[in-house]
């Protein structure tokens, strides 16, 4: 069994304290480096979620608009109103447009909404981009 004197124990403790003291600010520096990256990833995922939500909503609105027109007695005005109504339900109707192409065999409805109306914070990256979804249904 090794006998350790009180003086050597004290020396070991002081060495450990000095080593810990040298690393005191490293946690703060690491935090300052990592947090902006984490926030960027988090906010970017929120932005992509909002854009995907708008794309899915535009697809559903185009389907409902085309469906409104293939029903006997449906008019283009009713189809456009239905597409805009679907977009207004979720708050995306501002700036949205519905275009209807009505032929003898089919109906194609296209819903467009500016991406800058959907974006929560990265508007400068979305300016000029348009979310556009179409649906073509055949008439009976």
pLDDT tens per residue across span 65-100: 999 999 888 899 999 999 999 999 999 988 899 999
Contact predicate 112/58, CB 8 Å: yes
Please determine, for residue 8, whether its predicted confidence score (pLDDT) is greater than 90.
no
Structure tokens at 86: 């679907």
Domain regions of the chain by residue span: 7-138
- Rounded percentage of the chain residues whose pLDDT exceeds 90: 50
- What's the pTM value of the predicted model, to 2 decimals? 0.74
């Amino acid at each position: 069994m090794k006998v350790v004197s009180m003086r050597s124990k004290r020396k070991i403790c002081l060495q450990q304290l000095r080593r810990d003291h040298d690393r005191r600010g490293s946690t703060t520096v690491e935090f300052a480096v990592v947090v902006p990256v984490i926030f960027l990833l988090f906010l970017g995922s929120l932005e992509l979620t909002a854009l995907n939500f708008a794309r899915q909503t535009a697809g559903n609105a185009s389907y409902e608009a085309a469906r409104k027109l293939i029903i006997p007695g449906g008019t283009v005005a009713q189809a456009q109103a239905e597409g805009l109504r679907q977009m207004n339900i979720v708050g995306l109707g501002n700036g949205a447009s519905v275009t209807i192409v009505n032929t003898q065999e089919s109906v194609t409805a296209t819903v467009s909404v500016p991406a800058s109306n959907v974006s929560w914070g990265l508007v400068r990256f979305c300016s000029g981009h348009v979310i556009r979804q179409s649906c073509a249904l055949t008439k009976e």
